[in-house]
Amino acid sequence: MLAVGCSSIPVPPTSPAEVKEVRPGYLAGYLARKDLPDSLTLLPSPPAAGSAVSAADEEAYRTTRSARGTLRWQLAAQDAILSFPKAAEAFSCTLGMPISQEATPHLNMLMRRSLADAGLATYAAKDKYQRTRPFIVHKEESCTPKEEAHLSKDGSYPSGHAALGWAWALILAEIAPERVNALLARGHDFGQSRVICGVHWQSDVDAGRVVGAAAVARLHADPMFQAQLAAAKAEVESARIRGVKPVSDCKSDATGVATVSHRQ
């Protein structure tokens, strides 16, 4: 009876070679496209021109231009990187340990696959509305000028980065509940980086967080995600016992976030 019960528990892969790619370097998520939350159903239309929300978007854009050239601007550029292993470093300092294929393979895979689920869940609304990004409207350089040609062809509403950043924060908060406040604050800042960078309006980021939370809620019904989440939690607890510490410059990250408050 025990053998039958155990055989139904999925064994989550930790090697990227065992998971197909949605595009080079980016792994497929846990969910099929048809099972992703529908951002068109979840979200209202983008703010209409002349509305109070549109005015607030403009104000948020103007006030965050003061970040140009600061450490917070540099952090926003770093937060734009979604390729691994670099992307995992965004939360390593806040978690208090490295997140990598070598150090935490289950957690690393959890982040790589949930990236696709949260990010792709935004595209029903993105493709429908095709909202123009702020750096195009204002004809100013963003914090990631090399990405501007690509971003100009991709809808601004909702923000995919904000969706996956918030999804990662929620997942990590479940894995390390003793750091819940810091992890959620980092997830919030990760989304705000898109406003500071000039590639998303504030309402894009707010809507992205809704989609990210919806993606995590749906992921909890997936057996493979549940198994990988449990393995990642055990992995992190074991690393804590061994006294594993992050290897990046965490002081610089903290200073960068503090330079421009995420509440602006």
b/e for 23-35, b at 16 or more Cβ within 10 A?
Answer: eeebbbbbbeeee
pLDDT of residue 245: 83
* 159-183: pLDDT as tens digits: 999 999 999 999 999 999 999 999 9
For residue 26, list its beta bridge partners. 23
> CA of 83: how far to CAs of 110, 122, 201, 257, in Å?
14, 18, 23, 21
Residue 11, pLDDT score: 87
Distances (CA, A) of 127 to 18, 29, 130: 30, 20, 6
pLDDT in tens, 186-242: 999 999 999 999 999 999 999 999 999 999 999 999 999 999 999 999 999 999 999
Contact between 151 and 204 under an 8 Å Cβ cutoff? The reply is no
Nearest CA to 237 among 185, 182, 177? 177
Q: What is the pLDDT of residue 243?
A: 86
pLDDT score, position 138: 98
Biggest CA-to-CA distance, the chain: 66
DSSP 118: H
Residues 14, 18: Cα–Cα separation, whole Å = 8
**194 has catalytic annotation:** yes
One of 106, 161, 186, 262 is an active-site residue; which one? 161
Task: Note if 106 is an active site residue.
Answer: no
Taken in order 83, 196, 76, 111, the sign of the CA dihedral is negative
Q: Nearest-5° angle of CA 251, CA 106, CA 5?
A: 150
Residues 128 and 40: beta-carbon distance below 8 Å: yes
Catalytic residue from among 112, 194, 209, 218: 194
Active-site annotation holder among 200, 209, 218, 262: 200
Any catalytic annotation for residue 161?
yes
CATH code of the domain occupying 52-259: 1.20.144.10
Tens digit of each residue's pLDDT (9 = 90 or more) over 51-103: 999 999 999 999 999 999 999 999 999 999 999 999 999 999 999 999 999 99
Q: Where are the alpha helices (DSSP H) in 27-159?
A: 39-42, 52-64, 71-79, 89-95, 105-120, 123-129, 134-137, 148-151
Neighbours of 259 (CB within 10 A): 16
**Which residue ranges make up each domain of the chain?**
52-259
| pTM assigned to the model | 0.91
* The residue count for the chain: 264
Q: Among 57, 117, 189, 204, which one carries the catalytic annotation? A: 204
